[in-house]
């Protein structure tokens, strides 16, 4: 265990958090949350080391070379597990047009079949959202997308604080569910014709935490690794894949620095160069 007072947990309002950031006794700020709050705290941190994990609206590309039927269960879980309250959840799903109709039909069917309800039940995949105002925001974003011309295929309703898993198509880029982090059980699906153009679509976001790609073409996987402006590119899994030992962090508005065991040790310590020369 840790020695006494090595770890403290303090629930506090924003003003108190800002006082902690400004305190000279604090050497490092590590923050996970919204990009608005994260960059505000960084502006206050001065000379302190700063690590920020500020979420994203992760894409998942499914090209025409892959057996999408086998990938489907993974993609559904990547979009809706934990009710989408995961920074790296698959939010924007791009599918090659030759597979789009069949994929969409199967994706919607699998989404409707997800077990929803009590998070204490081990069978539950989609539970309630964290608080009422979060429910209201997610539903408002869905309504905004529909008002702008999007098609609702399932979900879009609530039972208490549970928002039923929602699939949308035809979502304009300006809609919140497309350009912002929804942090809820909502996925948008769109077709693409050209692989390079799909990668450009992925990059057309202020976020860059993690991206997923399903392909059987190694050259495309390597192209994606070079092209995608994300802290992590996950090939043949969704953006939600993460193990604690891997470097984890984002580009652009998604943050600064990297988490993960080795990466965190480097971020949270200060390197020191020691030179030993022979005594005269």
pLDDT of residue 149: 98
> What are the b/e assignments for 188-217, b being 16+ CB within 10 Å?
bbbbbeebeebbebbbebebbbbbbbbbee
pLDDT band at 248 (very low <50, low <70, confident <90, very high): very high
Handedness of CA 101, 102, 107, 112 (dihedral sign): positive
Give every CB contact of residue 217 below 8 A, 6+ residues apart in sequence.
Answer: 63, 65
C-alpha span between 168 and 146 (Å, rounded): 8
pTM confidence score = 0.93
The fraction of the chain above a pLDDT of 70, given in percent, is 100
pLDDT of residue 1: 80
- Of the candidates 87, 190, 202, 259, the residue annotated as catalytic is 87
Mean pLDDT of 36-52: 95
What's the pLDDT tens digit per position in 220-241?
Answer: 999 999 999 999 999 999 999 9
Find the helix or strand (DSSP H, E) in which 51 lies. strand 49-53
- Of the candidates 53, 181, 259, 267, the residue annotated as catalytic is 53
Find the helix or strand (DSSP H, E) in which 40 lies. helix 35-45
pLDDT of residue 8: 87
Q: What is the CATH number of domain 59-235?
A: 3.40.309.10
C-alpha span between 202 and 56 (Å, rounded): 11
Examine the residue annotation and report whether 53 is marked as an active-site residue of this protein: yes
Q: Which of 121, 177, 122, 124 is nearest to 147 (CA)?
A: 177
Examine the residue annotation and report whether 87 is marked as an active-site residue of this protein: yes
Q: Write out the residue limits of the CATH 3.40.309.10 domain(s) in the chain.
A: 59-235
Phi, psi of 250 (to 5 degrees): -120, 170
**N- to C-terminal Cα separation, the chain:** 46
What's the pLDDT tens digit per position in 60-110?
Answer: 999 999 999 999 999 999 999 999 999 999 999 999 999 999 999 999 999
What's the pLDDT tens digit per position in 186-220?
Answer: 999 999 999 999 999 999 999 999 999 999 999 99
Residue pair 153/93 in contact (Cβ under 8 Å)? The answer is no
What's the pLDDT tens digit per position in 112-165?
Answer: 999 999 999 999 999 999 999 999 999 999 999 999 999 999 999 999 999 999
Task: Note the Cα 255 to chain centre separation in Å.
Answer: 12
């Amino acid at each position: 265990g840790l020695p006494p007072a090595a770890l403290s947990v303090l629930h506090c309002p924003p003003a108190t958090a800002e006082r902690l950031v400004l305190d000279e006794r604090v050497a490092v700020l590590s923050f996970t949350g919204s990009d608005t709050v994260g960059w505000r705290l960084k502006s206050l941190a001065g000379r302190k080391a700063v690590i920020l994990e500020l979420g994203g609206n992760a894409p998942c590309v499914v090209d025409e070379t892959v057996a999408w039927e086998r990938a489907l269960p993974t993609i559904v879980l990547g979009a809706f597990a934990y009710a989408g309250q995961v920074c790296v959840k698959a939010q924007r799903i791009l599918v090659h047009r030759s597979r789009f109709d069949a994929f969409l039909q199967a994706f919607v069917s699998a989404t409707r079949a997800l077990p929803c309800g009590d998070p204490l039940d081990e069978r539950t995949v989609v539970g309630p959202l964290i608080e009422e105002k979060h429910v209201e925001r997610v539903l408002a974003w869905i309504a905004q997308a529909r008002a702008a011309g999007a098609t609702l295929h399932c979900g879009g309703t609530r039972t208490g604080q549970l928002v039923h898993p929602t699939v949308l198509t035809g979502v304009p880029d300006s809609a919140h569910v497309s350009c912002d982090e929804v942090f809820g059980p909502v996925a948008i699906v769109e077709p693409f014709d050209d692989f390079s153009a799909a990668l450009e679509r992925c990059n057309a976001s202020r976020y860059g935490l993690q991206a997923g790609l399903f392909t059987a073409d190694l050259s495309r996987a390597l192209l994606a690794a070079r092209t995608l402006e994300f802290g992590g590119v996950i090939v043949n899994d969704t953006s939600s894949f993460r193990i604690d030992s891997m470097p984890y962090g984002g580009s652009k508005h998604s943050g600064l620095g990297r988490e993960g065991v080795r990466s965190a040790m480097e971020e949270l310590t200060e390197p020191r160069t020691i030179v030993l020369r022979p005594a005269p």
